[in-house]
Each structure stands twice: as C-alpha cells, then as structure tokens.
C-alpha cells in the first residue's frame, strides 16, 4: 500500500510540474497550477454526473435512512483515531483526552460507532488531521490542487491525507484485500451521496464554481490550522 501511495504522490507532483510549465503566469499566487486544476475539476464533475451521483441516488433509495446514518457514524467514529493522534501531535492534550472519551463512548455505548451518543454527553467532534498538524508546526500549504476524485487540497494537505489514510485509518489494515476494498468503496459512496446537495448548492450559487471552491477551501483550512472556532465543521465541499 505504501509504495502505491508514493507512486501516486510522485505522479501528482510530475503532473503538477508539467501543468506549471504549460501554464502562463497565474493571477492567483496560491494556484500556480490553475490550468491543470481546472482540467481535473472538470473531470471530477464529469465523473460525479456520470457515475457517482447515479450510484449515490440508488444508494439513498435502497438504504434506509437510519442505516445510512449509521454507516456515516461508523466511518466518522473510525476517523476519531486520526483525530486523537493529531491532537496529541499538536500537544492539544486536553482535547485529545476528550477525543479518546468520545471514541470510547461511541464505540461501546454506540455499538461500534453506529450511534453518536458522545455528542449528547458533552463530547463534541473535533476536526484534526495531519495536514493541520503540519500547518500547526509552521509548514505552509503549498500550491492549491484539485485531486482526481477527492477534490480540493494543497500539497501539504495531500501529504497529510496520505499519512492519515495509510497509517491512521483502521480500514487500511483490514484483510483480506477484498474486504478492505469493499469498506473503502462503501465509505466513498456514503460520503459522496451525503455531499451531493452541498455540491449542487455551490454550483447554483457561484458564477465561477472552481474559484468559489478554491477560496472556500483555502479559507477554511487556514481557519482550522489557526483553531478558528467559527469554522463550519462540515461544509460539504471536502
């Protein structure tokens, strides 16, 4: 898995360099690869319309809402492991203690995280990842990127996502590989189905959807690194 991730990141960098060489001076210094990013953005929209939105519609129709909600909670609970690790790496030890208590409550009382009982117990969900950890210790975001299938990110956050998904996601350790692929696919389908309405609102509300998405993403990530409590915990575009 790790060699595959390294190859994917290397290919991303090479594509970025190629796109940068083929692009004239960019108006936005945060987005020197705008030409490449807009192409990938168009590809992602095409894939959403042709594949993921239809699959998401079927998923929403076939899966009862309580089950759908439970699936979302289950994967969100698994994500608490990365939150705990990154809280510790940022020396937010008080928050990490609460994150551990939240994970334990939802895993035990919430039956593996299918129900979120922790929020009602005064243990809200925090948003920490390795990209934020790198930013916390002074590493800049680097150029803005649109990753195939996954959407907006930056060089720093792409590395952070790789660390979180390879080392801190329990699904990555599931064997056999077929089970692991199935869980990852279910997680992605559930995620994209839940975010469809938010994507539609962004498309309807913005003249330049790409520009809107870029600015919203970069501002939100900057706010998360700075621990801005006014940040929307689930904007729908990540």
Strands 144-147 and 151-154: antiparallel
Domain presence at residue 233: no
pLDDT for the residue numbered 231: 66
User: Coil, strand, or helix at residue 14?
Assistant: helix
The answer to whether 161 and 152 have CB atoms below 8 angstroms apart is no
CA atoms within 13 A on the CB side of 38: 12
pLDDT for the residue numbered 200: 75
Q: What is the mean pLDDT of residues 190-200?
A: 82
Alpha helices in 48-129 (DSSP H): 53-62, 65-78, 80-89, 93-108
Q: What total number of domains does the chain contain?
A: 1
pLDDT band at 23 (very low <50, low <70, confident <90, very high): very low
Domain presence at residue 234: no
Which residues constitute the domain of residue 148? 2-23+33-225
The answer to whether 145 and 12 have CB atoms below 8 angstroms apart is yes
pLDDT for the residue numbered 2: 43
Q: What are phi and psi of 104, to 5 degrees?
A: -65, -45
pLDDT in tens, 24-77: 444 799 999 999 999 999 999 999 999 999 999 999 999 999 999 999 999 999
Q: Report, in angstroms and rounded to the nearest whole number, the Rg of the chain calculated over CA atoms.
A: 18
Q: What are phi and psi of 177, to 5 degrees?
A: -60, -30
CA distance 214 to 168: 27
Q: What is the DSSP letter of 175?
A: S
Task: Give the H/E segment covering residue 152.
Answer: strand 151-154
Q: What is the mean pLDDT of residues 112-141?
A: 97
Top-ranked range on mean pLDDT: pick from 8-22, 121-135, 205-219 = 121-135
Domain presence at residue 28: no
pLDDT for the residue numbered 64: 95
Domain presence at residue 40: yes
pLDDT for the residue numbered 14: 46
pLDDT for the residue numbered 96: 98
Domain presence at residue 211: yes
CA distance 8 to 154: 15
Q: What is the DSSP letter of 140?
A: -
CA distance 67 to 73: 10
Domain presence at residue 231: no
Domain presence at residue 237: no
User: Coil, strand, or helix at residue 137?
Assistant: coil
Domain presence at residue 63: yes
Lowest mean pLDDT: which of 3-12, 60-69, 72-81, 150-159?
3-12
């Amino acid at each position: 898995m790790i060699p595959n991730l390294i190859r994917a990141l290397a290919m991303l960098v090479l594509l970025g360099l190629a796109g940068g060489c083929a692009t004239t001076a960019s108006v936005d210094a945060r987005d020197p690869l705008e030409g490449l990013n807009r192409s990938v953005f168009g590809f992602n929209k095409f894939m959403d319309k042709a594949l993921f939105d239809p699959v998401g519609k079927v998923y929403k129709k076939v899966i009862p809402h309580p089950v759908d909600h439970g699936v979302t909670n289950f994967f969100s609970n698994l994500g608490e492991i990365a939150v705990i690790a990154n809280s510790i790496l940022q020396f937010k030890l008080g928050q990490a203690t609460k994150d551990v208590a939240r994970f334990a409550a939802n895993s035990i009382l919430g039956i593996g995280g299918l129900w979120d009982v922790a929020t009602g117990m005064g243990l809200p969900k925090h948003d920490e990842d390795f990209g934020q950890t790198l930013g916390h210790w002074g590493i800049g975001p680097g150029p803005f990127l649109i990753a195939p299938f996954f959407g907006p990110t930056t060089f720093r956050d792409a590395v952070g996502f790789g660390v979180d998904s390879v080392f801190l996601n329990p699904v990555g350790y599931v064997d056999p590989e077929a089970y692991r692929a199935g869980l990852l696919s279910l997680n992605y389908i559930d995620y994209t189905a839940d975010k469809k309405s938010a994507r539609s609102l962004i498309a309807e509300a913005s003249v330049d959807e790409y520009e809107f998405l870029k600015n919203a993403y970069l501002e939100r990530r900057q706010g998360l690194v700075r621990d801005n409590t006014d940040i929307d915990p689930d904007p729908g575009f990540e």
